[in-house]
Structures are given as C-alpha cells and as structure tokens.
Structure 1
C-alpha cells in the first residue's frame, strides 16, 4: 500500500478562504438540495469527552461523489479567553480518485452551515421574515446568524443582547458595515415583543430567553446541542408547543435538544427540517398557527453540504491566492 506524501496534497484553506467558498444563499440552497439527495449517508457522530469539560467530535458523511469528515474540539472553558470554543478542520475527499481535495477551516464551516440551516428554516417558516431580528449572544454564531439573515433574508434591523458589552458593540458595528441598522439592548426578554425573528447563539450554560414570544415569532435556537445544555426556559418551549410549532433540524434532536428535553416535550413527534423542505409537511400547513421554534443541534449532513458547495466552487474558480492557503510545514 502506498501513500501520497502530505506535501503533495492541496493546501488547507484559512477561515477567510473557507467563508468565501460558502456564500449564504448558495449554502442554504445546497443544504436544501442535500435533503432531497437519497445518496447521502450520515452515520452517528462520535463525541469523546475530554478533560476539563471539553469534547472531541468526529463527524463523517458522504454522497455519491464526496466524502468528508469534520474533526473538531469543543472547549466551553475558552469562552471569554480570546481562544475559540470550536477548533478543527473539515477534510474533503473525491470518492472517484480517493484524493484529499480540500481541508476547510472547521469553525468557519460550523458557523456558516449552522446559520445557513437557520436561514433555510426561516425562509420556509418565519411569518415575518423581514424582521427586526434579535440576536442573543454576540460570539461567532451570533455574527454568523446576523450575516445570514441580513444577506439571505434582507433583514434591515438587528437588535443584539449579550453578556459582553464589548462583543455586542463589535457585532453592532459589523451589522452597520453590512448596511443594516443595529442596536444593543440590555434585556433580551424586553426586546422579544419588538422582534419577530430571534436567534439564540450562546454557549447554552444558562437560560437566556424566558419571556413569551410574539404570536408571529420565529426563533432559531442553536446553542444547546446536548441534553444538559439550555438557552430557552422550559415555559417558553412549552408555550410554543401548545400555541405554535416546534421544528427540529434532524431526528438526532430527540436525544440532543437540551432546551426541549428539559421542558419535558416529546421531541420524537416533532417535524424535522427535511419534512418542511421536502414535504409533505409544508409552510402552508401552519400559516397563522402561532410562533415557530426551530431547534438546531447540528448534523454532519450540514457539513457535507458545505463540502459539496466548496468543492464545486473550487472547480469553477481560479486558484486561491497564496495568502489564503496554509501550507503544511
């Protein structure tokens, strides 16, 4: 058995180059296309606990032409230290040749595919897609969701609530740079009556939203992806279950969606994003039926969609400039 030397393989794209391969609308459309693709195979992800509360995630997926694995660490203790909570890479292979074609920046893929999944859900489910949008949590995911909703939905006003005033002001400046209005608010619950779009993007170590949402609200909750994590108060989740609709990203939410599990809800009976995009459950079936909660826990299929789009754009675009590529030493 022979192996190609590592130095002969394509370079690893940095965060900026990875993001450039994954524009918001194209990524949301690729995620929708993946949900229709019967050749997609996504085994259960492996999660290995690490010392001091971290986790190692191994997330493979494949279709008829692309195979990929996301290998990342999640380190909650990095919050507020300047070090990212999520680190790692997405390695992409061409099935026909077995060649490693791309190595994408793992945190960038995670942030963009998560926000693009929320964008896709909002396009199908949000009663008032123009906003204003309330972002709770001004970190990497908060920034990604602000971008996705401004660029992909045309939102023109973003309200920002964060425990870090500096992070909130930095995100507000970024929203202004995107051409939208932004305001920093001290109380997310107080802002809820003014915002029909909401995205909770926190480390999910405590409840950050507990007020009753508007009857025309769409809430994307992405922070909690284990049974012990939580962002939304149980009473809020129970209210939406009783008066509106809860949609989960995949069936894995049945054992991962801490917000819903801690509210005592039967997650297994809830529609999934696939049902919304591919039918028979469609947007029209819930028109005028109260608030919508979209609970996202993550899935390697979303990373595969990002890998497919990045591969296709790599084939269509000229070579990336040297500054955008990290060449192994």
Structure 2
C-alpha cells in the first residue's frame, strides 16, 4: 500500500464557495458543458443515487467527470429541518484530478446546489423566456428564492420582484434583500394578481402541495424547481396541461422522466418533452408563447459549477 500522504486540499465554506461562482459566468459554464457533451464523450454523469434514511429524509450521491475534473456531491436532504431552523440540505462536493487522483478542493454542497440550480434557471430564461427582463414573481422565499432573486437580477436585469411565501418572516427577509439590491419589491398574498402582472415566475417551495394554479399571460415563463421526486408537486395538473397544449414544456434533463413530480402527477408523457441540451443543440428561437421549464437537478450542473470554482480558485492562488 502506498503510504505517501495526500497533499492538503482547500476546504471552502459557503461564503468562499459562493465567491467562486458569479451568476453569469456560472450560467455560461452550464451552457459550455451542454455544448461540450455534443462533441465529446469525456463527460460522464451516472444516475444519482438516492438512498432513503429516516422517514422523509434521504442521502444523495452524485458523481460526474469531464475527463479532467472528477467530482462527487454527497448531501443529505432533511425537509423537517426547516421547522427547527436547521438547513434542509447539508454536505460537500469533493473535487479530484482525473489524471493523478489527487483531491484538489472541497466545496460547500448546499451553496453549489443553490447556485447551480438558479444558474440553470437563468440559462433557461435567457434562451426561452419571451420577456426575460420582465417583472419576477418568486413563490417560496427560502434559499432557492434568494438564489433565483440574485441570479435573475444579475443575469437578466430584473428590476421588479413580487414575493409570495407561507412564511411571513421568510418573505420579509427576501423583501429586505431585494430592496437592498435596489429592486422594486413587494410581498403579495394574491397569486392570481401577481401572475397576471409578472411574465417570469419561479416556484421554489418545499413542494408538499400545489402552489400555482394559473399563469395567464401569453408570454409567461414559469421555472418550477421545488419538486424533484415523483411524490413532490408545486403546479396544478391543469396548468401543466395548459402549457403543453398552448405553449411549450422543457425539462432540464432526461432524468426528469422519473423525477418531475409536477408532470408525472399530471399524467404527462415526460419522455416526449425536449430538454435543455436539445434547446442548445437546435438553437431554438426565443419563445412567442408560454413556456414551462421543469428543473429536477442533475450531477452535470454540479460538474459545471465545480469546474468554474476550481478554475477561479486556481487563478486566485496563482495571483
């Protein structure tokens, strides 16, 4: 057995991890990865392992590589923690060099999850939304609500945001954050009114019940990120069908075929829907009708974030 000690790798906390992942650069890195997959077989993203732990809780293991960088994300998902004031997602991403096997970096898992999810939404909005700079409605004011607020503001130039949350304190915190960013912001309990006003809608709730029943604007772009298992749901079935019949539904990856709770519970054939990679391959024209982007998560998004973080970290070390 080789007993040589492994070089010490940097262990970055949430703040340091976030600093390596600017929103626009991260969305660009996601697009780069998708385009790279068209011409290279080096990118490998095995299906993620989801292991139930305690009732309602699970452990995710998500490995991926591009032939140079190897990473795996190991995180726990504990929904009940929210009521106790503890994080619902905890864990790390460990980064290795493919050639040497050396561990290069340890990143904060929840930060990567939050930022890559919002960056994928940002990329989808850039490509698919009819009015990408229009007013934004955020339903769910937790970590993902905050991440999408930042991503859309910096990446799309969002200037107006409406906030809806079942938690008054969470809504108030997000409102304060939006106002500190110089946005016109308000809390609303009238989702019907908000949906009529806002062409951009993001749902990022715990996905335990339907929260959005309508998106009446013909230029609506709804990004649904809260439901990532077959049992979870945020969107009413009739709303999903309306998008399918009157507009377009795009999923983030093929894994949505067995993970997109909103669509599966609506009885929609998810296998027939285009995904974000096909949008890139076909260079879709900007939508003229309503679009639903269903995001479930994928290890490839973590790989994109890891690659960017590693480059940024190495550049900082050289400087």
Common topology (TM > 0.5): yes
CA distance in 1, matches of 2:238, 2:247: 13
Give the alignment of 1:94-105 within 5 angstroms.
Answer: 94-105=97-108
Asked if the contact 1:221–1:293 (Cα under 8 Å) also holds between the matched residues in 2, the reply is: yes
How far apart, in 2, do the equivalents of 1:94 and 1:36 lie?
Answer: 22
Pairs within 5 Å for 1:191-230:
191-230=194-233
**Partner of residue 290, structure 2:** 291
Superposed counterparts of 1:189-268, under 5 Å: 189-268=192-271
Instruction: Please tell me whether the aligned partners of residues 276 and 283 of structure 1 are also in contact (alpha carbons under 8 angstroms).
Output: no
Pick aligned residue for 1:118 from 117, 121, 135: 121
Could you tell me how far 1:214 is from its partner in structure 2? 1.0
Listed as ranges, the matches of 1:27-176 within 5 Å are 27-37=26-36, 38=40, 39-176=42-179
Query: In the superposition, relative to structure 1, how do residues 12 and 319 fare at CA in structure 2: closer, same or farther (>3 Å)?
Result: farther
SS of residue in 1 equivalent to 2:254: coil
Residue of structure 2 in register with 1:326 after alignment: none
CA distance in 2, matches of 1:188, 1:113: 27
1:64, distance to aligned residue in structure 2 (A): 1.8
Tell me if 1:2 matches 2:2. yes
Q: Distance in 2 between matches of 1:263 and 1:4?
A: 56
Distance 2:223 2:84 in 1: 26
Structure 1 unaligned segments of length 5 or more: list them.
321-329
Closer, same or farther: CA 269–3 of 1 in aligned 2, 3 Å? farther
> Structure 1 length as normaliser, TM-score?
0.93
> What is the TM-score normalised by the length of structure 2?
0.96
TM superposition outliers: structure 1 runs of 4+ over 2 Å: 1-6, 187-190
Q: What is the aligned partner in structure 2 of residue 312 from structure 1?
A: 311
- Distance in structure 1 (CA, Å) of the matches to 2:318 and 2:32: 26
Q: Which residue of 1 aligns with 2:12?
A: 13
* Contact 1:213–1:236, Cα closer than 8 Å, also in 2: no
- Structure 2, unaligned stretches of length 5 or more? none
Alignment RMSD:
1.4
Residue 131 (structure 1) shift: 1.6
Cα deviation code 1:242-298 (max 9, x no counterpart): 000000000000110000011111111111000112x225125xx42x210000000
Tell me, yes or no, if structure 1 residue 282 matches structure 2 residue 293.
Answer: no
Aligned residues between the structures:
315
